[in-house]
Amino acid sequence: MTAVGSFDLWMQQVQASVESALAAALPSTDTVPARLHDAMRYAVLGGGKRVRPLLVYAAGAVFDAPPSALARAAAAVEMIHAYSLVHDDLPCMDDDALRRGKATVHVHYDEATALLVGDALQAQAFAILADDLADEQAEGQADIAPQRQIAMLRLLAEAAGSRGMCGGQAIDLDSVGLALTLAQLEQMHRLKTGALLRAAVQLGALCGKMPDAAEEASLDAYAQAIGLAFQVVDDVLDATADSATLGKTAGKDAAANKPTYVTILGLQPSRELADRLRDDAHRAVAPFGAAAESLRALADLIVQRKA
Ligand code: GRG
Q: Where are the domains of the chain?
A: 4-304
Residue nearest to ligand 1 atom 19, measured at CA: 234
Which of 15, 83, 88 has most ligand 1 atoms within 8 Å of CB, for mutation?
88
CA of 193 to the centre of ligand 1 (A): 7
* Dist CA 307 CA 272 (whole Å): 18
Q: Which of 51, 85, 98, 106 to mutate to test the pocket of ligand 1 (most atoms within 8 A of CB)?
A: 85
Lowest model confidence (mean pLDDT) among 58-67, 124-133, 198-207: 124-133
Cα-atom radius of gyration of the chain, to the nearest Å?
19
- Per-residue pLDDT, 273: 97
User: Can you list the pairs that 207-213 forms with residues at least 24 positions away whose Cβ atoms lie under 8 Å?
Assistant: 207/56, 207/60, 207/63, 207/65, 207/66, 207/69, 207/70, 207/73, 207/143, 207/144, 207/152, 208/60, 208/62, 208/63, 208/64, 208/65, 208/66, 208/69, 209/63, 209/64, 210/63, 210/148, 211/63
Mutate to test the pocket of ligand 1, among 192, 258, 303 (most ligand atoms within 8 A of CB): 192
The better pLDDT of the pair 271, 139 is held by 271
36: nearest Cα among 123, 127, 126, 109: 109
100 CA → ligand 1 middle, Å? 11
Nearest CA to ligand 1 atom 5: 84
Nearest alpha-carbon partner for 230 in 116, 86, 81: 81
Give yes or no for a contact between 238 and 92, defined as CB atoms under 8 angstroms apart: no
| The predicted structure's pLDDT at residue 135 | 60
Average pLDDT, the chain: 93
Distance 79 CA to ligand 1 centre (A): 12
Q: Give the whole-angstrom CA distance, residue 157 versus residue 7.
A: 31
Closest ligand 1 atom to the C-alpha of 51? 25
In CATH terms, the fold of domain 4-304 is Farnesyl Diphosphate Synthase (1.10.600)
| Residue 111, pLDDT above cutoff 70 | yes
| 4 pLDDT higher than 90 | no
Q: Which is the closest atom of ligand 1 to the Cα of 118?
A: 1
pLDDT tens across 246-278, in order? Answer: 888 888 877 777 889 999 999 999 999 999 999
- In this prediction, residues 46-50 reach a mean pLDDT of 95
Q: Where on the phi/psi map is residue 97: left (φ > 0), alpha (ψ -120 to 50), or beta?
A: alpha
Question: Closest residue (by CA) to atom 20 of ligand 1?
Answer: 85
pLDDT tops 50 at residue 2: no
Protein residue whose Cα sits closest to atom 3 of ligand 1: 84
pTM of the model: 0.94
Report the pocket of ligand 1 as residue ranges, CB < 6 Å. 48-49, 51, 81, 84-85, 87-88, 93, 100, 165-166, 169, 192-193, 234
Residue 134 confidence (pLDDT) above 80:
no
